[in-house]
């Protein structure tokens, strides 16, 4: 057992933030060697229950759950910040050429190493990740995640049409490779496999049907794709699938709507689509820096909440402009202010934080496993220094309550705020 004393931020199952100005977190290894939360709460109470265990004291620091990134492309690490006129030109001019390089296992391994170092530097301890069509990109991703002991999710991209040479895969081989990779990596340690058709326009009906059959055969695996990000994309889907009621209906027809199915963006969806996602347990990965950067539109938080839609935040690097959860939460706040309601909405800082920790975990089907620091959950956490910069120190010292403190961290924080990352 080991105990950590500091300020302590946790979340209860309903998403309410719990904050102790002098708290203690006690962790203990289980039979598999994973560190889990044994106890947490006010230091005085927890220390009394555990009088003889070693305590690491981090005065003036904040222990909080590790961040969960619901949608990111590790092969796009090197094209972050590349200019484009919109989503489809950005894919053609930047994304596809960069991803073609991942046929080289050495290149894949080098980028994977950098990618995970960058995630950890930013305090991200779990991510749902696109690899490329190349099986070597998947092996490189999971090998590095396994080395670090991280809870990571990812998978091989499937795209058998409307894709350049070097990325377009054979329909049957793509499905066979996906199943082989799933069997190799899914549930190995803390790893999870995601069946990953890029998006409906780049998969034939035969490939989507095959992915649906795999999803039915492996119900605890994830499904990961894109949905309704951009008007041109949506029009393209309508031309390719004229019998579908909507873009989402394409995925429904092939059995790809269920729990642990995650669709990035979900900006331009209607109420019927939202109801369908809620009924099937499919979740949205909201990527505000990407949506702002590519001019895709605004995710409507109020309407999503009214429909009981599962969602959480993602960076979408390289379409997104930062690996930092603080930049993502701040962008979500901006989107709320500029959203579809007349006067916009002001998203509570604690709600933004929840959407990037426990809320994202719930949307991924990992409720109670990560993201909250509740009892029995895995003990992935970050140690934050609210005095990391002079301006941050000045602002946080004047915070009158938890919401002011969290908002100061969101607005002024960056990688300097993340002093330490502890992996379960």
* Range list for CATH 3.20.20.140 in the chain: 67-363
- Note the pLDDT of residue 91: 84
- Note the pLDDT of residue 88: 82
CA-CA distances (angstroms) from residue 231 to 15, 68, 288, 300, 357? Answer: 33, 28, 16, 16, 30
CATH of domain 2-65+372-422: 2.30.40.10
The alpha carbon dihedral of 236, 240, 246, 250 has a sign of negative
- Note the pLDDT of residue 338: 78
Question: Strand 17-29's sheet: what is its strand order?
Answer: 35-42, 17-29, 2-11, 55-65, 381-384, 418-422
Task: Indicate the average pLDDT of the chain.
Answer: 95
DSSP per residue over 191-219, as a string?
A: EEEEEEE--GGGS-HHHHHHHHHHHHH-T
Q: What is the pTM of this model?
A: 0.96
Question: Peptide bond preceding 117: is omega within 30 degrees of 0, i.e. cis?
Answer: no
pLDDT digits (tens, 9 = 90+) for 181-219: 999 999 999 999 999 999 999 999 999 999 999 999 999
**Nearest to residue 369, comparing CAs of 55, 164, 66?**
66
Q: Is pLDDT at 339 greater than 70 in this prediction?
A: no
Q: Which CATH architecture has domain 67-363?
A: Alpha-Beta Barrel (3.20)
- Note the pLDDT of residue 336: 87
Confidence of residue 419 (pLDDT cuts 50, 70, 90): very high
* Range list for CATH 2.30.40.10 in the chain: 2-65+372-422
Determine what percent of the chain is predicted with pLDDT higher than 90: 92
DSSP helix, strand, coil percent of the chain (3-state; round to 5): 40, 25, 35
- Note the pLDDT of residue 346: 80
In angstroms, rounded to a whole number, what is the distance separating the alpha carbons of residues 357 and 402?
A: 17
pLDDT digits (tens, 9 = 90+) for 253-274: 999 999 999 999 999 999 999 9
């Amino acid at each position: 057992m080991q105990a950590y004393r500091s300020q302590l931020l946790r979340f209860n199952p309903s998403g309410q933030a719990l904050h102790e100005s002098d708290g203690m977190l006690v962790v203990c290894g289980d039979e598999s060697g994973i560190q889990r939360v044994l106890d947490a709460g006010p230091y005085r109470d927890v220390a009394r229950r555990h009088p003889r265990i070693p305590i690491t004291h981090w005065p003036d620091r904040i222990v909080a759950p590790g961040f969960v990134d619901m949608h990111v492309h590790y092969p796009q690490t090197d094209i972050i910040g590349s200019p484009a006129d919109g989503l489809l030109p950005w894919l053609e001019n930047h994304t596809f050429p960069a991803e073609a390089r991942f046929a080289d296992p050495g290149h894949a391994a080098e980028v994977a190493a950098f990618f995970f170092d960058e995630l950890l530097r930013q305090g991200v301890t779990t991510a749902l990740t696109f690899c490329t069509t190349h099986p070597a990109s998947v092996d490189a991703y999971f090998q590095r995640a396994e080395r670090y002991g991280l809870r990571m999710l990812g998978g091989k991209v499937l795209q058998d049409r409307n894709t350049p040479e070097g990325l377009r895969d054979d329909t049957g081989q793509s499905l066979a490779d996906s199943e082989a990779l799933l069997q190799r990596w899914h549930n190995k340690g803390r790893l999870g496999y995601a069946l990953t058709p890029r998006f409906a326009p780049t998969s034939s009906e035969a490939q989507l049907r095959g992915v649906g059959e795999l999803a039915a055969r492996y119900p605890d695996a994830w499904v990961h794709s894109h949905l309704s990000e951009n008007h041109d994309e949506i029009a393209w889907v309508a031309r390719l699938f004229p019998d579908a009621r909507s873009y989402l209906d394409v995925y429904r027809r092939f059995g790809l709507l269920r729990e642990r199915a995650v669709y990035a963006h979900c900006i331009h969806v209607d109420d019927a689509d939202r109801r369908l996602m809620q009924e099937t347990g499919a979740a949205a990965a909201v990527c505000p820096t990407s949506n702002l950067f590519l001019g895709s539109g605004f995710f409507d938080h109020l309407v999503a909440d009214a429909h009981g839609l599962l969602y959480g935040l993602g960076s979408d690097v390289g379409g997104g402009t930062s690996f930092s959860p603080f930049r993502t939460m701040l962008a979500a706040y901006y989107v709320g202010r500029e959203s579809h309601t007349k006067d916009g909405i002001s998203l509570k800082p604690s709600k933004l934080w929840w959407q990037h920790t426990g809320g994202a975990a719930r949307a991924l089907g990992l409720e109670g496993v990560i993201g909250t620091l509740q009892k029995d959950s895995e003990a992935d956490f970050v140690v934050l220094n609210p005095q990391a910069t002079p301006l941050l120190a000045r602002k946080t010292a004047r915070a009158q309550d938890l919401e002011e403190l969290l908002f100061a961290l969101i607005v002024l924080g960056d990688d300097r705020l993340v002093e330490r990352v502890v992996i379960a």
